[in-house]
Amino acid sequence: MKWMLTIALVLSSVTYYPAKVTAQTQQPATTKQPVQPTKGKTSPQQRTSRPVFVWSKTPSRLSTISGRRAGMASRDNCPAVPTALTALVPLQEEQRVSKQTDKPISGIVGGLTTSERPTFWFYVPYTQDLTVSAEFILQDSAGNDISRNAIALPPKPGVIGVSLPSDASLQVGKTYRWYLKVRCNQQQTASVPIYVEGDIQRVNLDSRVMQQSEAAVSPQQKVAIYAANGIWFDSLTMLAQLRQKNPNDASVAWDWQSLLQSVNLDNVATAPLVK
């Protein structure tokens, strides 16, 4: 009897063990699958970003002389204006003269260009129907005139471009001083004009920026590349040309506002371009 009971126990254990092993080797039915990447998203390289100006690390500053980005709101018998004469250039503030809006802020005013004959851009609140004269002056580092020309005032307040004449040009690596002066008192030649001033230096693009520029898929992307690498005058001029060519293109208008706002020129960012 004991003999038969022992055999029965051995047989039952043999039958149960394979079943237990089989159950342990089965894969769970609820294994978590890897997370799949979300489809339809645009990569950072494909997104179009608005141009934002970034100061170039070299040179650290263009001149030891402070510039002036905004002129007085009224002076020399000039009429009071809501927005002062303004140079469309970056400003690194060094000294705030006053909190009053008609007082200029001194600092590093100006920027870089790769052009032999760049275009300078200004917001001019004075119009051609006033008894006003305007003059643009470009000087070398020794104070010698490179160019001195009368500037025609626009028919309405707005942004104008001033290009260098064919007999004036910039040399690579040299810093120049520019002025835009407005006089409203024609009877007093010694009167102090309303003016803005700053620096400009011509540079060559380094190979990295040149490659980025050549790979740009659109003029607006090229503008953004120049702005991000501190080439102010070229980026602004390219955008101005796009605005003149496509006056109803909202994307170009947004890029223009973005670039000006990146250097705290919000007050003139929506001003029209005028001839």
pLDDT band at 129 (very low <50, low <70, confident <90, very high): confident
The CATH code of domain 67-268 reads: 2.60.40.1220
125 prior amide bond cis, ω within 30? no
CA distances to 158, 194, 209 from 128, in Å: 12, 16, 41
Tens-place pLDDT, residues 38-62 = 333 333 333 358 899 988 765 555 6
Query: Mean pLDDT across the chain, nearest whole number?
Result: 79
Residue 50 contacts residue 255 (beta carbons within 8 Å): yes
Domain boundaries, the chain: 67-268
Query: Of all residues in the chain, what percent carry a pLDDT higher than 70?
Result: 71
CA atoms of 212 and 87, how far apart (whole Å): 28
Of residues 72 and 208, the one with the higher pLDDT is 208
Residue 272 has what pLDDT?
A: 95
Q: Which tens digits make up the pLDDT trace of 154-209?
A: 999 999 999 999 999 999 999 999 999 998 876 655 668 899 999 999 999 999 99
